[in-house]
Structure 1
Amino acid sequence: MRHLLRLSLALLALGACRSPTDNDQGGVPPLLTELPRTLSSAELRIVEGANLFAFDLMREATRALPSDSNAFLSPLSASLALGMTLNGANGETFEQMRTALRLDGMTESEINEGYRDLIALLGGLDSRTETRIANSMWGHEGLSLEPSFAEAGRSFFDAEIRTLNFGDPAAVETINDWVSGKTNGRIPQLLEQIAEGEILFLINAIYFKGKWRVAFDSRDTGDGPFHGADGRDRTAPLMRQEETLHYDETPEYQAVDLLYGNGAFAMTVLLPAPGRTPAEVLAGLDPAAWSALTARFHEAEVHLTLPRFRLEYARSLGQDLSALGMAIAFDEGRADFYRIADVRPDRLYITRVDQKTFVEVNEEGTEAAAATAVGIGVTSAPEVVEMKVDRPFLFAIRERLSGTLMFLGVMNAVGT
Structure 2
Amino acid sequence: MKAIYLPCLIIVLLFQACTPGSDINSPNEPNIRPLMAYEREMVFANTRFAIDLFQQLAKSEETNQFFSPYSIHQALAMTMNGNEGEVLDEFIQLLRFEGLSKEEANKAAKELTEFLLKVDQRVKLSIANAIWYREGYQVKVPFVETSQQYYQAEVAPLDMLNPQSVNTINRWIENQTNGLIKDMLDVIPPNAVMYLVNAIYYKADWKYRFDPSKTKKEPFFTSPGQSVQVDMMHLDEAAGFRGYWTADFSYLEIPYSTGQYNMGILMGQGHNLDQITENLTFENLKLWREQATEFNAKLKMPKFKLRHKMDNMRGDLIEMGLERVFYYHPDNFTLLFSNPTDDLKISRVIHDAIIEVDEKGSEAAAATVVEVVEVVSFPPSGPQTIVIDKPFVFFIQEKHSGAILFMGKLGDPGLL
Q: Alignment partner of 1:63: what SS?
A: helix
TM-fit CA distance, 1:153: 0.4
Instruction: State the Cα deviation string for residues 316-343 of structure 1 (Å, max 9, x = none).
Output: 3211111111111212136521111246
Q: Structure 2 unaligned segments of length 5 or more: list them.
A: 1-12, 377-416
Listed as ranges, the matches of 1:369-380 within 5 Å are 369-379=365-375
| Superposition deviation, residue 151 in structure 1 | 0.7
Equivalent residue of 2:175, what SS?
helix
Choose which of 266, 273, 276 in structure 1 pairs with 2:269. 273
Give the Cα separation in 1 of the matches to 2:224 and 2:342: 49
Aligned-residue identity in percent = 28
Number of the residue aligned with 1:238: 232
Q: What does residue 44 of structure 1 align with?
A: 40
**For residue 294 of structure 1, what is the aligned residue in structure 2?**
289
Contact 1:309–1:360 (Cα < 8 Å) also in 2:
yes
Aligned pair count reads 358
Tell me how far 1:167 sits from its aligned partner: 2.1
Cα distance, 1:229 vs structure 2: 5.0
Q: Quote how far apart the aligned CAs of 1:209 are.
A: 2.1
Say yes or no: does 1:199 pair with 2:198: no
Match of 2:250 in 1: 254
CA 1:263–1:239 in 2, change beyond 3 Å: closer, same or farther?
same
Instruction: Rate the CA distance shift 1:14–1:141 in 2: closer, same or farther, 3 A.
Output: farther
Kept in 2, the 8 Å contact 1:15–1:209? The answer is no
Cα distance in 1, alignment partners of residues 240 and 255 from structure 2:
12
Shift of 1:15: 10
Sort the Cα spacing of 1:115 and 1:85 in 2 relative to 1 into closer, same or farther, 3 A. same
Q: CA deviation at 1:288?
A: 2.5
Of the candidates 339, 344, 347, which is equivalent to residue 343 of structure 2? 347
Which secondary structure does the structure 2 equivalent of 1:312 belong to?
strand
User: Within 2, Cα distance between the matches of 1:177 and 1:292?
Assistant: 42
5+ residue gaps, structure 1: 1-12, 381-416
Q: Residues 283, 300 of structure 1: CA spacing in aligned structure 2 closer, same or farther, 3 A cutoff?
A: same
The 3-state SS of whatever aligns with 2:320 is: helix
Is 1:358 aligned to residue 343 of structure 2?
no
Residue in structure 1 matched with residue 298 of structure 2 by the alignment: 303
Tell me: CA distance 1:370–1:162, structure 2 relative to 1, closer, same or farther (3 Å).
same
Alignment CA distance shift 1:230-1:372 (3 Å)? farther
- Given that residues 15 and 206 in structure 1 are in contact (C-alpha distance below 8 angstroms), is that contact kept between their aligned partners in structure 2? no
Q: How does 1:167-206 map to 2 (within 5 A)?
A: 167-206=161-200
Shift of the 229–353 alpha-carbon distance from structure 1 to 2, 3 Å rule, reads farther
Q: Is the 8 A contact 1:352 1:374 kept in 2?
A: yes
- Deviation by residue 1:161-192 (Cα, 9 ceiling, x = unmatched): 12222222332212211111110000011212
Q: Distance in 1 between matches of 2:227 and 2:23?
A: 38
Amino acid at match of 1:108: K
Please tell me the residue identity of whatever aligns with 1:372.
T
Three-state SS of the structure 2 residue aligned to 1:71 is coil
CA deviations over 1:64-84 (Å, ceiling 9, x no partner) = 314xx3000111111100000
1:123-134 correspondence to structure 2 within 5 Å: 123-134=117-128
**In structure 2, how many angstroms separate the alpha carbons of the residues matched to 1:231 and 1:15?**
36
- Which stretch of the first structure deviates more once superposed, 100-109 or 48-57? 100-109
Larger Rg: 2
1:214 aligns with 2:208: yes
Q: In 1, distance between residues paired with 2:42 and 2:177?
A: 24
SS of corresponding position for 2:192: coil
Residue identity in the other structure for 2:109: Y
1:62 partner SS: helix
Contact 2:329 2:344 in 1 (8 A): no
The alignment's C-alpha RMSD in Å is: 2.5
For residue 30 of structure 1, report the CA deviation from its aligned partner: 4.2
User: Which position in structure 1 is the counterpart of 2:401?
Assistant: none
**Which whole-Å CA distance do the structure 2 matches of 1:176 and 1:230 have between them?**
43
Q: Is the 8 A contact 2:341 2:374 kept in 1?
A: no
> What is the TM-score normalised by the length of structure 1?
0.80
Among 55, 58, 64, the alignment partner of 2:54 is 58
Write the letter of the residue equivalent to 1:274.
G
- Does the 8 Å contact 2:193/2:374 carry over to 1? no
- Matches of 1:345 and 1:134 in 2, distance apart? 28
Q: Does 1:338 align with 2:334?
A: yes
Q: Please, which of 82, 91, 95 is the counterpart of residue 89 of structure 2?
A: 95
